[in-house]
Amino acid sequence: MATQQTPKVSVTVQIELAAGHTNNRLAEGKIVFTGGPLDGCNLVGFTIWQSRNGNGENVTFPARSYTNGSGDKRSFSFIQGDSASLSQLRHVVLEAYRTASKEAAATV
């Protein structure tokens, strides 16, 4: 593993609200990096969904489906970490979604 000293990095979560809540999809999000070696890069593929029971929202992370050698469908998540870190990221994305929803409602 290589460690690199970099200038301050800023991370922003941008949310695009879905038109018409297709299949319970509420919005899509991306993480935008500013500064450091990831300057100008975006991590796309976050989706905010209405929970199945209609009580709250859920976030899915960017992933790719594949079929293993046995023919089983699997999914590889592009974001990996311990459960606490992933829970914190999920919370940050949901807060950005809620903020975007409130701002959109205020402009109507």
pLDDT of residue 90: 94
Nearest-angstrom CA–CA distance, 3 and 106: 44
Q: Determine, yes or no, domain membership for 5.
A: no
Compute CA 59 distance to the chain's CA centroid, rounded to the nearest angstrom: 7
Average pLDDT over residues 22-28: 88
Residue span of the structural domain in which 23 resides: 10-100
Q: Determine, yes or no, domain membership for 69.
A: yes
**Per-residue pLDDT band at 52 (split at 50, 70, 90):** confident
Q: Determine, yes or no, domain membership for 60.
A: yes
Q: Determine, yes or no, domain membership for 3.
A: no
Q: Determine, yes or no, domain membership for 108.
A: no
Report yes or no: 48 and 27 within 8 Å, Cβ to Cβ: yes
Report yes or no: 26 and 17 within 8 Å, Cβ to Cβ: yes
The CB-based long-range contact list for 5-8 (8 Å cut-off, 24+ gap) reads: 6/35, 6/36, 6/37, 7/35, 7/36, 8/35, 8/36
pLDDT tens, position by position, 64-103: 999 999 999 999 999 999 999 999 999 999 999 999 999 9
Report how many domains make up the chain: 1
In this structure, what token pair is assigned to residue 100? 């975007």
Does the predicted TM-score (pTM) go above 0.75? Answer: yes
Q: Determine, yes or no, domain membership for 36.
A: yes
Q: Determine, yes or no, domain membership for 41.
A: yes
3-state DSSP call for residue 26?
strand
Q: Determine, yes or no, domain membership for 44.
A: yes
